[in-house]
Structure 1
Amino acid sequence: MASRVVKGGFALTQYLNASKQPEPLFGDIQKHVLEKAMGPSGRAQDVLHPSEMVKPDWCHRAAFHRLRLGAEHPDRQKPNFTRENVFAEGHRTHDKWQQWLVEMNRLAGDWHCLNCDETFWWDERPEQCHACAANRRCLEYAEVPLNAHPLRIGGKADGYAPRENALIEIKTLGLGSLRFERPEFLARYEVETEEFGKLPDLTRLWRDFRRPLSSAVRQTQLYMYLAKHFEDLEVDRCIFFYDFKNTQETKSFTVAYSESFSEPLIEAAEIITDCVLADVAPLCNVNGRVGCASCLEFK
């Protein structure tokens, strides 16, 4: 079987570093993970992703180019083993919470049949595939599709609890997330040690973590808008389940739906969609005619 080709640059450096590990098997695992990450992401390129739309620096012009070309953004994050390990741990956390809700018959959404590859919606755990009648051991939960096809918006929520009229979002919290999104909060709990310098007081930090990170709240507000207006789901809130990576403790938060938050994003999606149909790029909303780093990458 032909070996995979690893392109040069940052990716090649990471791959070669894995080859230098003192334990060969550990190095082989790293190379295997990096090879998988270097392939196509599998992320749809012909839709606007809510996770991108809610970012403060979301560039309408860059979104136009990506939709028009159907290609991944040139500035896609470069793979490294640590990041892929974080992603894998996040997937395991999702699986755990979703499985508990499935066992309680409290989770609705799409179900994917491993036998016939069909996907269908069901309001609780189905006993068999609705296409080929394979038993439920062949079925896996495929989350909640949230699409606004006329606006080319597409995403997925982690779950939907019909009895609660709530979307479900499952998150892991680590020091890296706090360092990026709420550095002032993290700094409040750092204590000076003689041997290791500044270290966070994890007990007090987790005790005082009382609301979801703002990026997650923005994204779920848009998810709820899509659920109500385009997917005909009864939704008035989002329930967050948080796992604290450092101690494995958990918390839950509830965020109420606010219609007004998503309206400017929906208007922007309408403009971008119209521009794609007319094949005329919109102005960069971040830096006007000059353009920003995001849309200039497409030149």
Structure 2
Amino acid sequence: MAPRVVKSGPRLTEYLNAVKSPEPLFGDVQKHVLDKAAKPSGRRQDVIHPSEMVKSDWCHLAAYHRLLLEVEPAEKRKTTFTRENIFEEGHRTHSKWQRWLTEMGRLAGDWKCWYCGAVFWNDTTPAECHQCSAPPSCLEYAEVPLNAGPLRIGGKADGYSPHDFALIEIKTLGLGSLRFERPEFLDRYTVETDHGRLPDMTRLWRDFRRPLPTAVRQVQLYMYVANHFEDLPVDRTVFFYDFKPTQETKSFTVTFDESFSEPLIEAAAAIIDCLQTDTPPFCNINGRSGCPSCVEFKETNK
């Protein structure tokens, strides 16, 4: 068997650190996780994801190339063991809230049967698989598909409650999220201690009173797609936030305002027009010079 080759970069550093771990089993776990992360994720490359559209650095030219090729640049996903651990914790948080809502009969969406492979929609907790009649123990919640077919926008909401006409978004909040999206908020609650400057967790969580901006933009786009393309009546999104340092929770509600999403919908329509005419758009981030996202496609296609 040929030896495994790991390309240079952040992942190589993580991989070598795992090899040098003083506890062999811990190092083996890290290598296992990094090996899994290096494989194709299965994330669709033939659609524009709302999570990318709402970012300030969303490049229309990069989106055009990805839709045209239906592939990400080879080096697009750089990861570390810590990052993969954060993702895994997020998945567990999602499962917890979705399980509670399922037990209450308040969760609609797609369900997957692990016995026959069928995926079907149900407005509440299903009593059995619609295809093979397998019991609920064989069923797993598969969330809420939100697709705008003509615009090739595709994503998933964490949940939908028909009783409340609400989408559901489940989030974890850590210092990293605040450092990236609201550094001024984090600085406000950072104090001098005998161990250096540290955040006052109690006051910070007490004064955290609204979802992070990117999350708000994303759910507005979800609600736009739900109402205009999926015939899913939605007038708000309910957020459940878990605070990582203390495991405390909060809930917020964001009401639907389609004006938030109209510029993004127009941009997606323009990208589709460019695909149909085989005319690449200009990079909207850095003009003719290009930004890191679209330049990466140029490097990949050399």
Output the TM-score relative to the length of structure 2: 0.96
Distance 2:186 2:52 in 1: 25
- Structure 1 residue 153: Cα displacement: 0.5
Farther off after superposition, 83-92 or 124-133: 124-133
Distance 1:155 1:49 in 2: 6
Residue 244 of structure 1 is matched in structure 2 by 243
Letter in 2 for 1:16: L
Distance 1:3 1:162 in 2: 53
Residue 127 of structure 2 is matched in structure 1 by 127
Residue 44 of structure 1 is matched in structure 2 by 44
Q: Secondary structure at the match of 2:221?
A: helix
Residue 253 of structure 2 is matched in structure 1 by 254
Unaligned 5+ residue runs, structure 1?
Answer: none
Alignment check: 8 A CA contact 1:113 1:139 kept: yes
Output the TM-score relative to the length of structure 1: 0.97
Letter in 1 for 2:252: F
Residue 197 of structure 1 is matched in structure 2 by 196
Letter in 1 for 2:215: A
**Percent of counterpart pairs with the same letter?**
70
Distance 2:132 2:221 in 1: 35
Query: How does 1:162-241 map onto structure 2 within 5 Å?
Result: 162-194=162-194, 196-241=195-240
- Structure 1 residue 288: Cα displacement: 2.0
Q: What is the CA deviation profile of residues 76-115 of structure 1, one whole-angstrom value per residue up to 9, with x for unaligned ones?
A: 2312100000000000000000000000000000000001
1:98 aligns with 2:98: yes
Distance 2:29 2:291 in 1: 38
Letter in 2 for 1:37: A
Q: Which runs of 4+ in 1 moved over 4 A?
A: none
Residue 147 of structure 2 is matched in structure 1 by 147
Q: What is the CA deviation profile of residues 105-137 of structure 1, one whole-angstrom value per residue up to 9, with x for unaligned ones?
A: 000000000011110000011011101111111
Change in Cα spacing, 1:4 to 1:203, as seen in structure 2 (3 Å) is farther
Letter in 2 for 1:178: L
Alignment check: 8 A CA contact 1:46 1:66 kept: yes
- Structure 1 residue 275: Cα displacement: 1.1
Unaligned 5+ residue runs, structure 2?
Answer: none
Query: RMSD of aligned C-alpha atoms?
Result: 1.2
Query: How does 1:69-84 map onto structure 2 within 5 Å?
Result: 69-74=69-74, 76-84=76-84
Q: Secondary structure at the match of 1:251?
A: strand
Residue 282 of structure 2 is matched in structure 1 by 283
Alignment check: 8 A CA contact 1:107 1:160 kept: yes
**Matched pairs, number:** 297
Alignment check: 8 A CA contact 1:275 1:281 kept: yes
